[in-house]
Structure 1
Amino acid sequence: MRRLLSAIGALFLGLATPSALAAETLTIGITQYPSSFHPTLVSMLAQRYVEGLTLRPITVYDHDWKLVCMLCTELPTIENGGARRETYEKDGETKEGMAVTYSLHPDATWGDGTPVSSDDMLFTWEMGRDERSGAVSLEAFQRILSIDIIDEKTFTLHLDRVTYSYNAFSLALLPAHIERPIFEANPAEYRNRTAFDRDPFNPGLAFGPYRLAAAEPGSAMEFLPNPTWWGPKPAFDKIIVRAIENTAALEANLLSGAVDTIAGEIGLTLDQALAFEKRNGDKFDMVYKSGLIYEHIDLNLDNPILADQRVRKALIHALDRETISAQLFQGRQPVAHASVSPLDSVHNPETPTYPYDPAKAKALLDEAGWSVMKRGIRHNADGEPLTIEIMTTAGNRSRELVQQVLQSQWRQIGIDITVRNQPARVFFGETVSRRKFTGMAMFAWISSPESVPLTTLSSTQIPTEANGWSGQNYTGFNNAEMDALIDGIERELDFEKRKKLWARLQTLYAEELPVIPLYWRANAFPLPKWLKGVRPTGHQLTTTLWVEEWRVEGRN
């Protein structure tokens, strides 16, 4: 098996295995292949990982969880005059918003020599706010009322509200000189015609340290240095990213030398990593990073069974999540009780919890009308069986193992669980994003510090065909109090007042249970001893955003 995997890897683009490559080549293994290379049309970790090689957001949260400039020259604040409150008229009312001015790095240039400019920001906004485009962050774009172009590198965003995160802009810019003609020709078809997917090797699509130079769809991508990159010269003359969806096969590729390292953000599961370290700890530096990675199960609330809150509470009471964490992950992945991590400054320790209580779970199902037992499965008075489908990413050994445990524990209280998994590119690119899962979808959200769950919990963010499948509220959760809390948190600049709103949001989330919280995931980074400078963040931003800091020391 290892020989076969190595041979397959060696055939990609006629390349030899890493042992035969020059020291300037780095080969990385990941478990997913991006469903699209476009920065704003998909919400997929694989896309974010490779995007970190080719693009840079305007601002980022760094390794210390502090907001800093990456593409801009200075973080605009109210204190330094880069941001200010302002009023505007809408529907006959005077409202308060903000004006925030950014200056882009003077040397930032697309790979074809075109400067990264204010016009790129203008086009990115024009595309993103158009519902026909299908941008994931539609709401974020629509909050920008207008943009004033000051000069080629400087612009002012006029926001429709005052928010505590007024100067955080983590979205990547699009090259207007390439993408605008495509978009304007047919906005409704833009997502199917973008150059990021139809002409992905165009150097004008990248301004980061690397550019995408070649790809074997579904299998591998090759990145070469971008000659217009303004920052420190990266250490590698070539980076190859191989997508190997089966995590056991991914581990075999690492041991055989078909890949040099595995991305911790999207690689080995923790149980694999712990076992791998015991066997191969002398060959690799294992780095473990816990953080804001929330493994959970989205519930499709349009399903009549799951629309009943009593059923949702029964589902969580039937799970022994503490034992799952202890036995499968040696306690390194603590049980999650809501969507805010205990590591986050706004975590509420008094959030209601659901201990393992099968008796309580059975009573709730009886109360909900699922009280007739036939061959170990509950039925309602009409004879319908209590059957729910669960889906996750095929080939992820840890998720599939957890899935089996969940299936077994739910079966013990009379719930019939059917499993239907899909490759990640299909699961995220089509099934989840368009709400095609009928029951449960198990995956992870990765967030930034104090990240308001607007796109995942607001009723305005439920993906539909009418809104171009924008938004990430895949459960279909629609709760007026949650909407008000999200809006209130965003508008409150005083941290202590905001923290009280956060506490209520977490309580409401736990009470309503639009999802089943599982655990806070820890990522494992198996790094060859010669690879230095890779620093996990613990939040949603990938290590590749600092790829120019990676270096080689003592590689044979």
Structure 2
Amino acid sequence: MRFLLAPAFLATLLLSGSPLSAQTPKTLTVALAHEPDRFYQPSTLAGQLVANLVFDPLVGLDDQMNPYPVLAASIPSPDNSLVRLSGDGADRRLIVTMPLRQDVTWSDGESFTADDVVYTWQLMSNPRSGFDTTVEDKLKSVDKLDDATVQFTYLSANEARALDPERYKDQGSEPVVDPLYFFGLYDAPAIYPRHKLRDIIGDDPRHSRQIGAFESSDFARNPIGTGPYVLSSWDAGNALTFTARSVALPQRLGQPALDTIVFRIMPDKNDSLTALTQGQVQLVAQDSLDASDAPVLDTLPGVLARYTPGNAWEHLTFNLDSPVLADANVRQAIAYGLNRDALNEAIMFGKAAVATSQVPAWSWAFDPTAPHVTFDPGQANQLLDKAGWSRPGGGGIRAKNGQRLSFKYWSTPASFRPALMAMVKDQLAQIGVEVNIESVPSSALFDTSPSTPQALVNRDFDIVQFAWVSSYDPGTDAVFNLSSASIPSKANGYQGGNYGGYKNPRNDQLLAQLQNGLDPSFRRIAMHEAQGIWQSDLPVLPLLLRPITTASTPRARRGTSNSGTSPIPESFLACECHPELANDPPLRRSQREA
């Protein structure tokens, strides 16, 4: 399953360092544009927001993107002897031992144990469960050593080839590993209660045919979790109400600062903002708002708008099959010719962040010292002159050997893109580059069938614009969208996101090392080198890191209300769309966003 991540404001939801006060009940009302789809393995943002109140993962990340143990008692690493290699030759395998907290209970009072972790893995392994198990497919087994210890055993090379000869044909004698081993079950949004789910799908979830029973079960509407809140009511189409658990939460960074959280379903943003200004809600969540609302939000009396760099980065992908775009001078000239600050001001009202790298600045892997291109039309013109593209005396479009410097420029008709593309066109015309805009439905653009003429897998574009949605691990993202093995072709079933056909042997070597590296320090160094290569080769040009937009009342932020409304901590108001914050389940893979 590929997640749209839940943001920080519900990942760290209103946790404080002290227990709840019994004297002054505190309530927060949040406006959501969409009703949550479900609590078990939610597929929508709204679903993830509410599920994060109820469930916990094994390992989360704090607001500085640092892993910290949640249901795990400590994070496995080679340094603490919880990660080791066992066996010899092609029978060698990676073994990860994870101690678990012994003081955590489910909301029905049952104790959390290793049985719950094993059961969750078995559930994920059922093909009918719908989980994306790219990481978990590398596991031979997940075993309970005792109630407070679980062991993750990865496949040896021999076992991997026997299981999937095609996937592991080039494995050699090296053991199968994954750099995200320390999450335990990386693709699990949460750990689920064995004692509850076995009543629904039985004791063998890996082979159960009763997976569909979840949707109609009591668990779907009345979930049992280890998180700080329990669902106390769900009025379909109207509201969901959560009540804080009156127990210690050792797995969380603090105790809930709110007694009650109410989510009102308000599809019309105008209704949400009216309710906000009237004090009926204290926060409007990000699924209602975007940067285009800034002119209104910034002038509403009594409203504080927040714009935080998200993880969707708008970019241009260059088709390197084009002899013209295969010239790095031309790609670099296009980069120098674009004023991304002006794009931000005009299209995003200055609320986005200019993306200086293919890795967002909030990522652990971001290299702030890597060189990046800034707006410099003089340098752009020099590069094009050097490449032999001459310009008529009176300006106009450049040409070389009778060929105009002209490109097909594709994107989807998302609300902000027509204006953004028009501005890109005008800016590039200033340096003598012509782009011809064509709007393509996202269903066609991202179709993996070569029978669709405008599908990216056919590589018939020159320049295409869309957004990649970054995950926690940019190395894994880059394997999908910048590795030569991920160039869509008939040989690989037109899978992969390297639509521009980028090839660089050193880049491929680094990405392979990143996928097999277990040392975080080494992986950071490798990611920094990779960013330098990408900035030099420029197979894709980052434009803007789109903002996550929320709005709240000053009264809620200051906590000065005498009506029981709680102050909202900074972590709540930030509403970051960072892939990992606090207990938020990691964004599993890099995604396209139409």
Which of 230, 234, 254 aligns to 2:276? It is: 254
Q: CA 1:151 to 1:476, structure 2 compared with 1: closer, same or farther past 3 Å?
A: farther
What is the CA deviation profile of residues 389-415 of structure 1, one whole-angstrom value per residue up to 9, with x for unaligned ones? 422655xxx667545544665788443
Question: Aligned partners of 2:491, 2:206: CA distance in 1, in Å?
Answer: 18
What is the CA deviation profile of residues 228-249 of structure 1, one whole-angstrom value per residue up to 9, with x for unaligned ones? 97534562434215364x7677
Query: What is the one-letter code of the residue matched to 1:353?
Result: V
Query: What is the one-letter code of the residue matched to 2:466?
Result: M
Tell me what 1:10 maps to.
none
Query: What is the one-letter code of the residue matched to 2:277?
Result: L
What is the CA deviation profile of residues 301-333 of structure 1, one whole-angstrom value per residue up to 9, with x for unaligned ones? 7x9879965697787566431311344557564
Which of 520, 530, 540 aligns to 2:545? It is: 520
Tell me what 2:149 maps to.
154
Higher helix share: 1
Q: Is the 8 A contact 2:126 2:205 kept in 1?
A: no
Alignment of 1:504 onto 2:529: yes
Tell me what 2:63 maps to.
63
Q: How does 1:268-279 map to 2 (within 5 A)?
A: 268-270=289-291, 272-273=293-294, 276-279=297-300
Question: Aligned partners of 1:295, 1:445: CA distance in 2, in Å?
Answer: 6
Q: Is the 8 A contact 2:316 2:465 kept in 1?
A: yes
Question: Aligned partners of 2:78, 2:477: CA distance in 1, in Å?
Answer: 24
Tell me what 2:98 maps to.
101
Question: Aligned partners of 2:270, 2:123: CA distance in 1, in Å?
Answer: 40
Q: CA 1:438 to 1:468, structure 2 compared with 1: closer, same or farther past 3 Å?
A: closer
Tell me what 1:118 maps to.
114
Alignment of 1:442 onto 2:466: yes
Q: CA 1:105 to 1:268, structure 2 compared with 1: closer, same or farther past 3 Å?
A: farther
Secondary structure in 2 matching 1:148? strand
Alignment of 1:173 onto 2:160: no
Alignment of 1:210 onto 2:253: no
Secondary structure in 2 matching 1:167? helix
Tell me what 2:158 maps to.
none
What is the CA deviation profile of residues 470-499 of structure 1, one whole-angstrom value per residue up to 9, with x for unaligned ones? x98485977565453233235446666444
Q: State the 1:220 CA deviation.
A: 6.0
Q: How does 1:467-506 map to 2 (within 5 A)?
A: 473=497, 475=499, 481-492=506-517, 497-506=522-531
Q: How does 1:539-550 map to 2 (within 5 A)?
A: 539-541=578-580
Tell me what 2:258 maps to.
235
Tell me what 1:26 maps to.
28
What is the CA deviation profile of residues 199-238 of structure 1, one whole-angstrom value per residue up to 9, with x for unaligned ones? 773324644223385375xx66624337697534562434
The farther-off stretch of 511-520 and 449-458 is 449-458
Question: Aligned partners of 2:113, 2:414: CA distance in 1, in Å?
Answer: 38
Tell me what 2:340 maps to.
321
5+ residue gaps, structure 2: 1-23, 155-174, 250-254, 390-396, 457-463, 557-566, 586-594
Question: Aligned partners of 2:493, 2:70: CA distance in 1, in Å?
Answer: 30
Question: Aligned partners of 2:283, 2:122: CA distance in 1, in Å?
Answer: 39
Q: State the 1:293 CA deviation.
A: 2.8
Secondary structure in 2 matching 1:415? strand
Q: Is the 8 A contact 1:221 1:241 kept in 2?
A: yes
Question: Aligned partners of 1:243, 1:59: CA distance in 2, in Å?
Answer: 33
Question: Aligned partners of 2:100, 2:447: CA distance in 1, in Å?
Answer: 34
Query: What is the one-letter code of the residue matched to 1:501?
Result: A
Question: Aligned partners of 1:243, 1:438: CA distance in 2, in Å?
Answer: 36
Q: CA 1:499 to 1:482, structure 2 compared with 1: closer, same or farther past 3 Å?
A: same
Alignment of 1:39 onto 2:18: no
Q: State the 1:152 CA deviation.
A: 3.6
Question: Aligned partners of 2:123, 2:116: CA distance in 1, in Å?
Answer: 11
Q: Is the 8 A contact 2:306 2:551 kept in 1?
A: yes
**TM score, norm. by length of structure 2:** 0.63
Question: Aligned partners of 2:85, 2:429: CA distance in 1, in Å?
Answer: 57
Q: CA 1:201 to 1:95, structure 2 compared with 1: closer, same or farther past 3 Å?
A: closer
Query: What is the one-letter code of the residue matched to 1:168?
Result: F
Question: Which structure has the bigger radius of gyration?
Answer: 2
Tell me what 1:13 maps to.
none
Q: State the 1:28 CA deviation.
A: 2.1
Q: Is the 8 A contact 1:100 1:166 kept in 2?
A: no
**TM score, norm. by length of structure 1:** 0.66
Identity %: 16
Q: CA 1:335 to 1:307, structure 2 compared with 1: closer, same or farther past 3 Å?
A: same
